[in-house]
Structure 1
Amino acid sequence: MGGSALHFLQHEHAFPRMPIPVYRNLKSRLYPVIQGLYSHVIVPIEAPEKKDYGDLDFLVYSPKTDALRHGDAKINVSHDSVKDAIGARHFIPADGNRTSNFAVPVSKGEWATLGYEDEEEANRKKVEDGEIYYQVDVHVCADKAEWDRIFFFNSYGDLGMIMGLVAANIGLHLGSKGLQYSHPPHRRIDLSDNFEEIAEFFGWSMETRNAGFATRQQVFDWVTTSRFFDASRFRTQGEGIRKVKPQRTMYSDFVEWVGGLRDTFTSLTDEEKKQIVESARAEALEHFGKREEVESMVRNFEARKRMKDVFNGVSVKSWIGAHQWQDVKSVMDRVREQHGGDEGVSTLLDTEGEGILQQRVLEAFRELKIDK
């Protein structure tokens, strides 16, 4: 979400920001059109106190049968069908469950009917041919679960990204796919994709959130109710925190506001901050029932690493004497075959030790009758 995806069109001013009545009029006009193409359509809840909009976002899934007559996939209505339906002139297509961007021309005098004639004319004068457009984004979701998650994460403007910043401060990753546990060099572990559960873990009241926010300050205050929020140790950049575009003003305002809170919190040492993060990460694993999975992953990783450090071409070559590398490979393949692949060799190393592994290598060498 976010405007200006179609910046290649003529001029940067070809997509002016929409005053609130213009945005609402566009949404009410196109909503039933998109509903004619997809069974489930929704627009993320807008950020409070917005003065204008850069684009209009639709989240959709489950294309209607009639709309699929000219479709290109089970998930997507064809881009041309959407383009024709909403009256777009240009589009940037994206297949599958992702966002396509459409440029819908603003009809001459369209804003005038809403009291914004001067603004429309001023925007037209900024582009050479006088043509201005609405950017309409259609994000196709694979199923209702994804539809719900993306709606949650993208509602109330930058709130989802701000929540993600809180999560990053305790060493976790929160995005539209849910909450994840990062543990380089290992793969990320999915903790939960249920935002009700995630909010409960962080201490955020879903009842308050679902009631809505009238101001940005209410959003900021809600974020700080998390039991993991502490302005004194709050990072806005560094490891685990991605850079955010300057136009994310709500996010930037939150960061600035938190900076002003720091004097009201007790300063902590770096070691104390580290302990808090480690404790929160451990609690997350326990809370979502993922501790054993992570511990098993680490054990397997360490076992594979140890196996590779011991059972490799250089070591095996030294054990069997000077031979061609092809001979070394043949011996290693024989040992793997006899012990159930790399996993079996790793288990042998862990249970019997390096000496027994070396013995198995020499036995395989003799069985293959490779000449020295």
Structure 2
Amino acid sequence: MGGSTFTKASADGEPTLYTPRMTPKVYAQLKSTCIERLQEVLPDHQICALIEAPEKKDYGDLDIIIAHDGPVNTMELARHVGARGLIKHSTGENQSFSLAVPQDMVRSVEDRDPVIYKHRHKTDTSITEAHPPAPLSTKVCAQIDVHIVNTADYDWHIFYSSYGDLNILLGHIVRQHGFSLTDKGLFLRLPEYDAAKELDAERTTPHLNIEDTLGKLFLSNDPVQVMDFLGLDPNRYYDGFTTVRDFFDWLSASRLVGRETAGGHSDQPSTKTRAKPRFVKRPLFTSFLDDHLPKKFQHISTTNGTNSKEEVTCQTCKQPTQPPPIIPSSIPTRPVLHREAVASFARTSAYTDLHTKLIHTIANQEADHFLKPIIAKYSNVTDRKKVGEILRAMQRWVGVGECCGKMSVSEEPHGIGASQLGRLVDGTCGDVVLRDEVGVEAWVKEHWDEVKGLERQRVKREREGKELKEG
């Protein structure tokens, strides 16, 4: 199978474009000519092809990265390259699209616009026995996937997306230690964020909704800085790898790779740290985790005499002795790695700010969860929208003592994001509970209607002021 994008796409009255796999010779010529033609349209822009995994015998498609701040004219680029077909995947700032270009790179005499193809949805019923799929084109084409990225993201995107499954493998490695790797860079996952996600996944009635932006701290999108932190040799990476073994040896030298990395599983219970099912089917991914790493650590254990499968007996009494101790992991713990990362990437202040916001948000959402049934009980309201209205009023108008946890009606409202209701809960002993359930119930019973009225007056004044300004 070659590039599969166009085999799943169609255009009215047009054939299905044939994009089989390419030989290394065809691929190399296609890459050279394609970049040359794109450079003619965008002479002052960085353009390159992603580095493929080593030892590939053929290629399904060609991935091109273009550094450009803002949208490009996709039709102009496609026409100049000589594309027969065009599929637009995303528009806006970070565009991506696929081109079907003749493998011989011969442009048509007419220099016509390429045909725009669209993906057939899985539920598309237009292809039936009465309306069979369009026949394959006689012209042999190649699939070229073009990605437009911001200039500032160009180097990272190339690093992240090159060598086939590098991003998947590296993402799996760092995930086990509280980091995330995305097309935007390396992120630190706050432990409270992971704990909240894990806790909510175990609940029969989940009630936490923590945005990723509150739980993940951006560290860097500088490839060299990230490789240095992970204990990977940047020079060896940029020199390139001629064999898969070379690539695996480089990757397994990371200071975050240990026995627990092998096999695609983690000793940690969180699903956030385990390999995602769709990755397990990828040959490079499974080969590294299920073959290369186990052999590496088996060799280390055998060399150190710590993993012999034969029963060891005492030379004097001939009785079995205790098995050799398991060598503990040499990888620093998650807290240590996080402290190192925050210091290494100069993100101490940003970490403190994000951590404060995250703790505040989690506490507020826990408090909201406890307050809803109490509000419903004493307001005699069962409609969720009406309960929500009273809760929002409390978020704006209720002050809570930081130390005592006592509730009061504030003189002025504050934004919902600045709600003080989170001070009502306590999770220091494990389970999150209301600090003073009896006191909270008594206060809500007495003041819910007052707070609701204050909020309705505020909304009315705000609406009238807006109408006066517009009129």
**TM score, norm. by length of structure 2:** 0.60
Per-residue deviation, residues 337-363 of structure 1 (Å, max 9, x unmatched): 353355344166479966378447625
Q: Is the 8 A contact 2:368 2:391 kept in 1?
A: no
Tell me the secondary structure at the aligned position of residue 227 of structure 2.
helix
Q: Counterparts of 2:178 and 2:386 in 1: how far apart (Å)?
A: 47
* 2:228 matched residue in structure 1: 200
Match of 1:47 among 30, 47, 53: 53
* 2:406 matched residue in structure 1: none
* 1:151 matched residue in structure 2: 158
Match of 1:257 among 286, 292, 296: 292
The 5-angstrom pairing of residues 197-346 of structure 1 reads 197-231=225-259, 233-237=261-265, 239-240=271-272, 241-244=275-278, 248-255=282-289, 256-265=291-300, 276-277=333-334, 279-281=336-338, 283-285=340-342, 287-288=344-345, 289=347, 291-293=351-353, 295-312=355-372, 314-319=373-378, 322=380, 335=394, 336-337=396-397, 338-339=409-410, 340-342=414-416, 343-346=418-421
Q: What residue ranges of structure 1 are gaps of 5+ in the alignment?
A: 64-73, 111-126
Q: What residue ranges of structure 2 are gaps of 5+ in the alignment?
A: 108-134, 198-209, 302-306, 308-324, 398-408, 427-434, 455-471
The 5-angstrom pairing of residues 15-164 of structure 1 reads 15-38=19-42, 39-62=45-68, 74-78=70-74, 80-94=75-89, 95-96=91-92, 97-107=94-104, 130-141=138-149, 143-164=150-171
Tell me: CA distance 1:146–1:329, structure 2 relative to 1, closer, same or farther (3 Å): closer
Q: Which amino acid aligns with 2:219?
A: L
User: Could you tell me how far 1:292 is from its partner in structure 2?
Assistant: 2.5
Q: Which amino acid aligns with 1:307?
A: A
Q: Which amino acid aligns with 1:29?
A: T
Q: Is the 8 A contact 1:17 1:52 kept in 2?
A: yes
Q: Percent identity?
A: 23
Tell me: CA distance 1:160–1:133, structure 2 relative to 1, closer, same or farther (3 Å): same
Q: Is the 8 A contact 1:90 1:103 kept in 2?
A: yes
* 1:115 matched residue in structure 2: none
Q: Counterparts of 1:318 and 1:307 in 2: how far apart (Å)?
A: 16
Q: Is the 8 A contact 1:232 1:263 kept in 2?
A: no
Number of matched pairs: 337
Structure having the larger proportion of residues in helix:
1
User: Could you tell me how far 1:281 is from its partner in structure 2?
Assistant: 5.0
Q: Counterparts of 1:155 and 1:323 in 2: how far apart (Å)?
A: 57
Comparing 276-285 and 13-22, the one that deviates more: 276-285
* 1:68 matched residue in structure 2: none
* 1:4 matched residue in structure 2: 4
Tell me the secondary structure at the aligned position of residue 152 of structure 2.
helix
User: Could you tell me how far 1:76 is from its partner in structure 2?
Assistant: 2.1
Q: Which amino acid aligns with 1:145?
A: A
Q: Is the 8 A contact 1:33 1:86 kept in 2?
A: yes
User: Could you tell me how far 1:235 is from its partner in structure 2?
Assistant: 4.2
User: Could you tell me how far 1:176 is from its partner in structure 2?
Assistant: 2.2
Q: Is the 8 A contact 1:159 1:219 kept in 2?
A: no
Q: Counterparts of 2:78 and 2:297 in 1: how far apart (Å)?
A: 49
Q: Counterparts of 1:99 and 1:177 in 2: how far apart (Å)?
A: 16
Q: Is the 8 A contact 2:98 2:143 kept in 1?
A: yes
Tell me the secondary structure at the aligned position of residue 139 of structure 2.
coil
Tell me the secondary structure at the aligned position of residue 311 of structure 1.
helix
**TM score, norm. by length of structure 1:** 0.74
Per-residue deviation, residues 169-195 of structure 1 (Å, max 9, x unmatched): 324221322112343424241232222
Q: Is the 8 A contact 1:331 1:361 kept in 2?
A: no
* 2:124 matched residue in structure 1: none
User: Could you tell me how far 1:163 is from its partner in structure 2?
Assistant: 2.0
Tell me the secondary structure at the aligned position of residue 180 of structure 2.
strand
User: Could you tell me how far 1:3 is from its partner in structure 2?
Assistant: 3.5
Q: Counterparts of 1:324 and 1:9 in 2: how far apart (Å)?
A: 50
